């Protein structure tokens, strides 16, 4: 199992309908198959995610955050990890808003 504990991730790319930017940092914690993170920066005042690590190392996540427009946003996400040649983790994320327009998108985040 990939260890996400005390890892920091930064957004590399995001769909136009996403709210995270390159200024958004995710601070992960990991215990057993439970992962959680806080995130902020860019368009995000503060956010939190919680999820489980599946047997295939994918992450099944629920998230919520407050954006700079004062809106509370929520969603779901499946993240597929890749271990890079330098040992860092890159996550390919497919997400769906459960608030707002309920649209879907993709984001790539990478360990810093």
pLDDT of residue 31: 97
Write out pLDDT tens, residues 19-35: 999 999 999 999 999 99
Task: Report the relative pairing of strands 44-53 and 89-97 from DSSP bridges.
Answer: unpaired
This prediction's pTM: 0.96
- Counting beta carbons within 10 angstroms of the beta carbon of residue 35, is it exposed (0 to 12), middle (13 to 18) or buried (19 or more)? buried
How long a stretch of residues is the chain?
112
Fold of 8-111: Lipocalin (2.40.128)
Write out pLDDT tens, residues 32-56: 999 999 999 999 999 999 999 999 9
pLDDT of residue 1: 87
Domain boundaries defined on the chain: 8-111
pLDDT of residue 45: 98
Closest to 90 in 3D by CA, of 112, 70, 75: 112
């Amino acid at each position: 199992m990939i260890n996400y504990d005390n890892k920091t991730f930064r957004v590399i790319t995001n769909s136009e309908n996403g709210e995270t930017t390159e200024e958004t940092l995710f601070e992960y914690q990991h215990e057993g198959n439970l992962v959680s993170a806080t995130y902020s920066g860019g368009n995000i005042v503060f956010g939190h995610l919680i999820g489980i690590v599946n047997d295939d190392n994918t992450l099944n996540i629920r998230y919520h955050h407050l954006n700079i427009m004062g809106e509370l946003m929520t969603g779901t996400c499946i993240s597929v990890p890749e271990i890079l040649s330098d040992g860092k983790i890159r996550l390919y994320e497919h997400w769906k808003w459960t608030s707002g327009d309920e649209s879907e998108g993709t984001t790539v985040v990478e360990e810093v």
